[in-house]
């Protein structure tokens, strides 16, 4: 693999990266192209970023491909995104499998056409024994919808109120069994969470870049990883250095 990167891979890398792949529309607009051309360019880029994640040893990648709110976009764009998902499975499944990628879906499959639903389920089954990179595709996904779904299932399962814990709720989410993301990246300069992994992202680090998603390349990912490696994650506590000073002052 060609390696033109100027930025080095840091020692401390996240186990789980999640990405809000934003800016496809503006990328297309700035080139006088239709929005769907931006989504297609974004899909090409996704392939490159998956390869980079494998190269860097990242274990989990979650991508926001279609939100529960995206149904409100023009019909042509909604259908175009459905088509892209189908094309990705048709064209890329074997290569993803050969690279050791295990595909997962998070969100609801029920509004997808039966044919597309079948394709997604087939891709999940086909790749289920791979473990190099776990790729969670958030498609018809919303963080609030996920929590509502979890609450409904907890109640249906007759779980008593006292038994409802952090861990139990996590186990009822679409991401059950997947560690929380360490780093969420949002491209295109927007500074919002947009209903993405709102439970799982409670203590994640956020990285925002003005780069539109189709241009977010390997080097840009390395910059995000570099920045992550310098962040101190305190999970609501104080830093170990400060803690040490405080203890000695007692
Ligand atoms: C946000 O950009 C992007 C999306 C809503 C779709 C993301 C989809 C892909 C990158 C294709 C990969 C898809 C699959 C199914 C694997 P935007 O359209 O909101 O951009 P804008 O804010 O510039 O208009």
135 pocket-lining for ligand 1 (C-beta < 6 Å): no
36 pocket-lining for ligand 1 (C-beta < 6 Å): no
Reply yes or no on whether 131 is catalytic.
no
Query: What is the per-residue pLDDT for 6?
Result: 76
Q: Is residue 219 very low, low, confident or very high in pLDDT (cuts 50, 70, 90)?
A: very high
Residue nearest to atom 3 of ligand 1 (CA): 22
The answer to whether 215 and 22 have CB atoms below 8 angstroms apart is no
Q: What is the mean pLDDT of residues 165-178?
A: 98
Cα–Cα distance for residue pair 10/132, rounded to 1 Å: 19
3-state secondary structure the chain: CCCCCCCCCCCCCCCEEEEECCCHHHHHHCCCCCHHHHHHHHHHHHHHHHHHHHHHCCCEEEEEEEEHHHHHCCHHHHHHHHHHHHHHHHHHHHHHHHCCEEEEEECCCCCCCHHHHHHHHHHHHHCCCCCCEEEEEEEEECHHHHHHHHHHHHHHCCCCHHHCCHHHHHHHCCCCCCCCCCEEEECCCCCCCCCCCCCCCCCCEEEECCCCHHHCCHHHHHHHHHHHHHCCCCCCCCCHHHHHHHHHHC
Cα–Cα distance for residue pair 224/226, rounded to 1 Å: 5
Which of 3, 22, 140, 215 does the annotation list as catalytic?
22
Strand partners, 138: 64, 106
**Low-confidence winner among 82-91, 120-129, 177-186, 226-235 (lowest mean pLDDT):** 226-235
Cα–Cα distance for residue pair 182/228, rounded to 1 Å: 9
The string of pLDDT tens digits covering residues 24-62 is 999 999 999 999 999 999 999 999 999 999 999 999 999
* CB neighbour list of residue 169: distance below 8 Å, 6 or more residues apart: 147, 150, 154, 199
Cα–Cα distance for residue pair 146/143, rounded to 1 Å: 5
Q: What is the mean pLDDT of the chain?
A: 95
Q: What is the mean pLDDT of residues 115-132?
A: 98
Query: What is the per-residue pLDDT for 250?
Result: 63
**Which of 36, 38, 39 to mutate for ligand 1's pocket (most ligand atoms within 8 Å of CB)?**
39
What's the first-to-final CA gap in the chain, in angstroms?
A: 55
Whether the per-residue pLDDT at 164 is higher than 50: the answer is yes
Whether the per-residue pLDDT at 14 is higher than 60: the answer is yes
The string of pLDDT tens digits covering residues 85-96 is 999 999 999 999
Q: What percent of the chain has pLDDT over 70?
A: 95
Q: What is the mean pLDDT of residues 72-92?
A: 98
Q: What is the mean pLDDT of residues 114-135?
A: 98
* d(CA 40, ligand 1 centre) in Å: 9
* d(CA 207, ligand 1 centre) in Å: 18
Burial of 71 per CB tally in 10 Å (0-12, 13-18, 19+): exposed
Query: What is the per-residue pLDDT for 114?
Result: 98
Residue nearest to atom 10 of ligand 1 (CA): 42
Q: Is residue 225 very low, low, confident or very high in pLDDT (cuts 50, 70, 90)?
A: very high
The string of pLDDT tens digits covering residues 98-109 is 999 999 999 999
* CB neighbour list of residue 65: distance below 8 Å, 6 or more residues apart: 21, 81, 85, 137, 138, 139
Relative to the CA of 28, which ligand 1 atom is closest? 23
**Which of 18, 21, 35 to mutate for ligand 1's pocket (most ligand atoms within 8 Å of CB)?**
21
Residue nearest to atom 24 of ligand 1 (CA): 25
Output the CA–CA distances (angstroms, integers) from residue 156 to 123, 148, 149, 152, 153, in the order listed.
29, 12, 11, 6, 5
**Low-confidence winner among 13-22, 135-144, 173-182, 232-241 (lowest mean pLDDT):** 232-241
The answer to whether 196 and 225 have CB atoms below 8 angstroms apart is no
Q: Is residue 1 very low, low, confident or very high in pLDDT (cuts 50, 70, 90)?
A: very low
- In the chain, the domains with their CATH numbers are 16-249 (3.40.1180.10)
Whether the per-residue pLDDT at 144 is higher than 70: the answer is yes
Q: What is the mean pLDDT of residues 140-144?
A: 98
Q: What is the mean pLDDT of residues 54-79?
A: 98
Query: What is the per-residue pLDDT for 234?
Result: 77
* d(CA 21, ligand 1 centre) in Å: 6
Query: What is the per-residue pLDDT for 4?
Result: 54
């Amino acid at each position: 693999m060609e390696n033109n990167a100027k930025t080095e891979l840091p020692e401390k890398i996240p186990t789980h990266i999640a990405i809000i792949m934003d800016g496809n529309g503006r990328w297309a607009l700035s080139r006088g192209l239709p929005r769907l051309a931006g989504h297609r360019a974004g899909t090409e880029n996704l392939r490159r970023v998956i390869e980079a994640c494998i190269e860097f040893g990242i274990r989990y990648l979650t991508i926001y491909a279609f939100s529960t709110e995206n149904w409100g976009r023009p019909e042509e764009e909604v259908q175009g995104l459905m088509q892209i998902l189908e094309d990705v499975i048709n064209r890329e499944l074997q290569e993803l499998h050969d690279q050791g990628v295990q595909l997962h879906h998070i969100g609801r499959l029920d509004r997808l056409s039966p044919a597309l639903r079948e394709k997604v389920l087939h891709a999940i089954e086909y790749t289920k024994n791979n473990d190099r990179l776990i790729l969670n595709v958030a498609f018809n996904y919303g963080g609030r919808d996920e929590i509502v779904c979890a609450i409904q299932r907890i109640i249906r399962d007759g779980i008593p109120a006292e038994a409802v814990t952090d861990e139990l709720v996590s186990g009822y989410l679409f991401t059950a069994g997947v560690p929380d993301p360490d780093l969420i990246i949002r491209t295109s300069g927007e500074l919002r969470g947009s209903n993405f992994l709102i439970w799982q992202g409670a203590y994640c680090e956020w990285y925002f870049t003005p780069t539109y998603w189709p241009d977010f390349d390997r080097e840009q990912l390395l910059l995000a990883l570099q920045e992550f490696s310098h962040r101190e994650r305190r999970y609501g506590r104080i830093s170990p250095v400060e803690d040490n000073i405080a203890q000695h002052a007692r």
